[in-house]
Each structure stands twice: as structure tokens, then as C-alpha cells.
Amino acid sequence: MTDFSKTPLLDTIKTPEDLRKLKVEQVRQVADELRQETIDAVSVTGGHFGAGLGVVELTTALHYVFDTPRDRLIWDVGHQAYPHKILTGRRDRIRTLRTAGGLSGFTKRSESEYDPFGAAHSSTSISAGLGMAVARDLSGGKNNVIAVIGDGAMSAGMAYEAMNNAGAMNSRLIVILNDNDMSIAPPVGAMSAYLSRMYSGKTYRSLRDAAKQLGKHLPKVIADRASRVEEYSRAFMAGGGTLFEELGFYYVGPIDGHNLDHLLPVLQNVRDMETGPILVHVVTQKGKGYGPAEAAADKYHAVVKFDIATGAQAKSKPNAPSYQNVFGASLVKEAAKDDKIVAITAAMPSGTGVDIFNKAYPDRTFDVGIAEQHAVTFAAGLATEGYKPFVAIYSTFLQRGYDQIVHDVAIQNLPVRFAIDRAGLVGADGATHAGSFDNAYLGCLPNFVIMAASDEAELVHMVATQVAIDDRPSALRYPRGEGRGIEMPEVGIPLEIGKGRIVREGSKIALLSFGTRLAECEKAADELAAHGLSTTIADARFMKPLDLDLVLKLAREHEILLTIEEGAIGGFGSHVMQTLAEHGMLDNGLRVRSMVLPDVFLDHDSPNAMYARAGLDAKGIVTKVFETLGKDFKAETVKLA
């Protein structure tokens, strides 16, 4: 006897081609089953959840109406794309999401021909789609290009840059604005759906084009007035599309993104348009169809494994506090003493710990949306007026504001304080979210002070240090996840700028750590001691200015000096090497090695597994010491055993 399937129709769909064979009245059932499968899958894997639930009907309708993958479907951000993955041949692997060797949590070109563009950062879809549309036109192709943008992605300037360009070029591009927070849309109903269908239909468009042609032969004052009446009536009835029309888009909407009777005919009309660009304004509800998500303030944006019946998320064993929460709590304490401290983030208040600051000081907290460039220059403006802005942005997102860091902050030597979360490898989000490059991209900038916390207690002191640095910009990096569980200071005490510390004294090997690999250095030193190798451990604290006395002391008093950091080539190790070379310390037999992230983009896995693969755990450090000594580590271990 076979088990009863909860998803009988979905079970027959391997690719969107199978979906397109169904009758239109069956599409609703597919969407319902797709929602069920999405809930089931994410309850097992965890991951981004609310946004995907909100686009179930839209995903089903798009693949039903358009000829994917020949028609290019681009999902902005990518975390809306779990239902898309289920429909496009990846259902059998959906429970491997975000695990080693499994599916990516974002769209990925190498994963499927149905993912024409990889996206994990926001607001890129319209630019990429325009590129594909122009390539199609240059090649004489006829396929459609559809960009689905939403979940806050319209708060980024890049989306408007792309729309401005697309409008001017008149390229046939379809943009679906997935408005899932009601930030733009008025109430959506049958009248709006009827008008959207009418506006996107051929008859109305033909009449509109005819009126434009007629207008050319009328006196200018009458023609202008007639076109204005038409524009105002469309904006009034269709609810606020004037901005998009001004950018050169043909605006359709808003329509209910959960009503397939509204969605399907409008998408079919839009598909058959011969001119562009077109913007379809679709209103959806984040977390739709799953009660606990609908009721939650964050709509279950991102979740760990959860119980489907109750929505209760699996609780990890309480351990040390997370770095982001230590940062948030430390900033609150500093702000109590200094009313000039303000916090800025770019749409990641809970991810950065700024939400903790916001509870205490809502008037001094600024979430600028997905707008990292603006965040940096906004902070620079605050700094010119004597305020002390802390810009809390993930390392990988801060890359978007790099020009502003250089021009608006560093050149003007403004005391903007960067709190750089997600330093190093981050686990399930993979290469797109790893903080691999900030040591290198900030280290080359004049005027900067650059610190990395080796544990959560150091982080508290470094926040206090940043408050005290009032004559130049500073950056403080720390990783994702929990601290070490050490005793926490009551208050942060500013550190001496550019001074590191010796953690353990030895004589032969020196391990100079920058950041939270310090714990692995301590494990490695214990193992090296068992092999009779006396090891010094130093915590650099500062990459810029570098502790020259400490670096030269380590170089003079040891045979081997290893630098260890959670970053790519060109960062801390490069600064140490340059300093040693300039001071002639490489001329007399000292053996120096820099341990950095490998020169590849590492796919998602657990952070521990990723660091092991990168060779930046205790075992990797010990192996590197033996390689540097010229001895084979395994042979040495066997001999001692």
C-alpha cells in the first residue's frame, strides 16, 4: 500500500515544462502544494522563509506563463527563490539547502540553467536583466527577460540607476515589483485588477499609441493637456505608478500576488507586449499561508529548523553571547555616557546588534534600508557636525560602500566608526556572505585605525576604543556566532592605539594572531608543546597602526613567525611581511609564513568545517609549523607516539 501524498500534483512536475502542460484551473492546486512543500523543507533545513512563502503564487504563475529557462527569470536577492528551486528540477535536493555539498540558499548559475544570474546581495536584478535584454536584442533573439525585485530591494539606489537606464533605452524588459511590506501599494482589489488587466491588454495599448500619434497633429497646448489627463487618470486609478512611468516604464498594477485569477491574465498580457520596459506591481504578504510566520513581526524572514505544527524554532543550547549582541550591548553602555553616539545600519538591525541599541535609543538609531553607499556618506555628514556615528554593516555588504569609505571618509579623515560584522567565514550563507576582504580593502587606506577582536571581552574594550578615537576613521571586525564564554568586563576601557599583547611566552615558534583564530592558536600551541616546541602566542589587536615593537620582538626572538587571520591575501599578513622586510628582519634566516584564507570562494558548510578546509584551525596551524621546520608532521607524530 502506497503512502498518501500531500502533494499529488506537484509530484508530477519535474520541470516547469510539466507545469505548463496542466490546465489553468489546476495551477491553484500546484501553488497550494508548493507552499506545503516549502514549509516542510525549510522546517528541516532552516533558511530564508518568509519571502519565499510570499511568492509561491507568483513563482507558479511566472513559470506557467513564461517559457523558462529560454525566458530568463531573475530573482533579486535570491532568498525568495526556494519555491522556484522546487519547481525547477531541484525538489529532490531541497532538503540539502545550505548544507555541505547541498543546494545554495541563493540562486546560483552553476546549480541550474533556471538560475540565469547568481544573487545573494540585493537590488541587482534589473541591471542584470537589462544586460540580458540588450544581449538578446544585439543577437536578434525574441525571448523575455523578467526581473523579480522585492523584499526591500527597491530601497537601494542601484535599482533606480538600472530603471533609469532601462527606461531611456526602451529595451523590452519586464520588472515584477514584489511589494511585500505594503510600503508602496494602496489597497488592492477587484477594480485595481480589472484596470491592470485592461491597461496591459492590447486594445488599450493600441488606443493609447493611436492617441499619441493623433496628439502630434493637435495644437501643443491641447495635446499636452490630453496626455496629462490620461497620465493622471492612470496614476489615480492604478495607484501611484507615476514614478515608474517617469522613469520610462509602462506601469501595470497594483495586483494581488496571491490571486491567480488576477495574476495569470496580466502576466500573459505583459508577456505578449512587443515594447518595453514594463513594471508589474504585485502586492504579496511575506509568510503567506503559514500562521506563525504571518503573525511574527519579522514574518519568519530567516529561521532555524522549526516545528510545523507550532512554528517553534529549535533552540540551540545557550552558550556564550553572540558577538553581535555584545557589540549592541556595549554600544548602549557607551551611549549612556555620550549623547553624540549614533548607530547606523543598512537594513540589518538584528543581524548587527543595532536592534539592541534601537530599543534603548530609537532617536539615535538609523536604518537607512539597503543603501550601503548612502549609509557611509550619511555617517560622514554626521561626523562633520561632531557626532560619533557607528556604521554597523557586514564586511561583505560594506564592499558596496567602498568608494564612499575612500572619498567621503578616509580622504577627509572623518571619525566614522565602522563595526564590521561577519568577519571571516560564515557557514550556511557561503561565499557571498563571507567577510574575506575587509582587511585587504581597508588596510591600504591612509588614516584608518583597524582592529580585530580576539574574543567577546576584547570586543567590549574595542567599542570603547572606537568611541575614544575622534580624529580619524576606525574599523572593528568580529565574526558571526558565539564568543568563547569568557568573563566579561563591566565596562569597556579604551586600548592603547596600535599596541598588541603577548598571551603566552615561548622561545622557538611565534604565532601572531589577528582576530578570533587566537583560540585555535592556543590549541595549536598546546599540541606543539607536546612535540617539544616552545611557542609564543601574541594577539595583534591592531592591523593599523601595526605594533612595530611587538612584531620586531617576535621576529628577533624566534625561529619561526606565523601570522594567522580570517581574511584573504593582502591583509594583516601582508602588512607584517612588509614591515619585517623594511626593517631587514628577513635577511638573517627568520622563517615567516602568512596563514590566510585560500584563494578560492569557499562553498557553504559549517564554519568549523570551512576553517578546517581553509587550513586555519589548530591542526592547520600545527601542520604549517612542521612544514616550515621542514619536517613531516605525520612522521613526527608517529615517532612521538
DSSP 465-513: HHHH--SS-EEEE--SSB---PPPPSS--PPPTT--EEEE--SSEEEEE
The per-residue pLDDT for 156 is: 85
Q: pLDDT band at residue 210, thresholds of 50, 70 and 90?
A: low
Q: Is 619 a catalytic residue?
A: no
Task: List the catalytic residue out of 108, 136, 197, 286.
Answer: 286
Strand partners for 283: 179, 256
- Of 91, 400, 422, 477, which one is the catalytic site residue? 400
Q: In what order do the strands lie in the sheet with 365-367?
A: 365-367, 341-345, 388-394, 417-421, 474-477, 449-452, 542-544
Which range is least confidently modeled, 152-156, 402-406, 429-433? 152-156
Supply 292's cell numbers.
506563525
User: What's the confidence (pLDDT) of residue 300?
Assistant: 73
Residues 303-313: what's their mean pLDDT? 80
Q: Is the pLDDT of residue 240 over 80?
A: no
Task: Measure the CA–CA gap between 347 and 352, rounded to whole angstroms.
Answer: 10
- 618 within 8 A of 520, measured Cβ to Cβ: yes
Q: Residue 55 CB: number of other CB atoms within 10 A?
A: 30
Amino acid 578: pLDDT: 98
Is residue 517 part of the annotated active site? The answer reads no
DSSP result, 119-146: BSSSS-HHHHHHHHHHHHHHHT----EE
The DSSP string of 386-403 is T-EEEEEEEHHHHGGGHH
Pairing of strands 174-179, 145-150: parallel
CA distances from 501 to 180, 195, 498, 541 (A): 50, 69, 10, 8
Number of CB atoms found within 10 A of residue 205's CB = 17
Q: What is the mean pLDDT of the chain?
A: 88
353, pLDDT greater than 70:
yes
Strands 302-303 and 47-48: antiparallel
Contact indicator for 199, 238 with CB cutoff of 8 Å: yes
* Residue 514: pLDDT over 60: yes
Query: Between 27-45 and 56-65, two packed helices, what is the crossing angle to 10 degrees?
Result: 130
Does the pLDDT at position 225 exceed 80?
A: no
Query: What is the distance between the alpha carbons of residues 127 and 451, in angstroms, rounded to a whole number?
Result: 35
pLDDT band at 291 (very low <50, low <70, confident <90, very high): confident
pTM of the model: 0.87
Is the pLDDT at 636 greater than 70, yes or no?
no
Q: Decide if 518 contacts 457 (C-beta within 8 A).
A: no
DSSP letter at 94 equals G
- What confidence score (pLDDT) does residue 287 get? 85
By C-alpha distance, which of 294, 297, 296 is closest to 286? 294
pLDDT digits (tens, 9 = 90+) for 36-46: 998 888 888 88
573, 565 contact by CB (below 8 A): yes
Q: Per the structure block, which three cell numbers stand in for 304?
A: 532555524
- Burial bucket for residue 111 (CB in 10 Å: 0-12, 13-18, 19+): middle
**Mind giving me the DSSP string for 549-571?**
HHHHHHHHH-SEEEEEESS-TTS
pLDDT band at residue 100 under the 50/70/90 scheme: confident
How far is residue 404 from each of residues 42, 365, 373, 445, measured CA to CA in Å? Answer: 38, 20, 6, 12
Where does the pLDDT of residue 182 fall: very low under 50, low under 70, confident under 90, or very high at 90 and above? Answer: very low
User: Looking at residue 388, what is its pLDDT?
Assistant: 98
Question: In terms of C-beta density within 10 A (0-12 exposed, 13-18 middle, 19 or more buried), how is residue 398 classed?
Answer: buried
Contacts of 317 (CB under 8 A, 6+ apart): none
Residue 339 to residue 317: CA distance in whole angstroms? 36
Is residue 390 within 8 A of residue 375, CB to CB? The reply is no
* CA Rg value for the chain: 28
Closest C-alpha to 173, from 135, 209, 120: 135
Percent of the chain with pLDDT over 70: 88
Quick check: is 400 catalytic? yes
C-alpha cell recorded at residue 188:
488592492
Which residues 6+ apart lie within 8 Å of 522 measured at CB?
Answer: 503, 504, 537
CA angle 628, 630, 633 (to 5 degrees): 85
| pLDDT reported for residue 641 | 40
Pull the grid cell for residue 172: 523590452
The residue type of 594 is S
Residue 23, classed as helix, strand or coil, is coil
**What pLDDT does 188 receive?**
44
- pLDDT at position 635, please? 56
> With bands split at pLDDT 50, 70 and 90, how would you rate the model's confidence at 296?
confident
Point out the catalytic residue in the list 37, 334, 372, 566: 372
Residue (of 394, 398, 425, 393) closest to 604 by Cα position: 425
Q: Please tell me the least confidently modeled range out of 213-227, 275-289, 602-616.
A: 213-227
Judge whether residue 467 has pLDDT over 80: yes
Q: What is the pLDDT of residue 552?
A: 98
pLDDT in tens, 526-585: 999 999 999 999 999 999 999 999 999 999 999 999 999 999 999 999 999 999 999 999
Pull the grid cell for residue 329: 550591548
Residue 96 pLDDT more than 50? yes
pLDDT reported for residue 195: 55
Could you tell me what percent of the chain has a pLDDT over 90?
A: 66
Q: Between 27-45 and 260-271, two packed helices, what is the crossing angle to 10 degrees?
A: 100
Q: How does strand 417-421 pair with strand 388-394? A: parallel
Q: How far apart are CA 227 and CA 215, in angstroms?
A: 8
- The pLDDT assigned to 324 comes to 95
- CA 465, CA 451: separation in Å to the nearest integer? 10
pLDDT of residue 239 exceeding 70: no
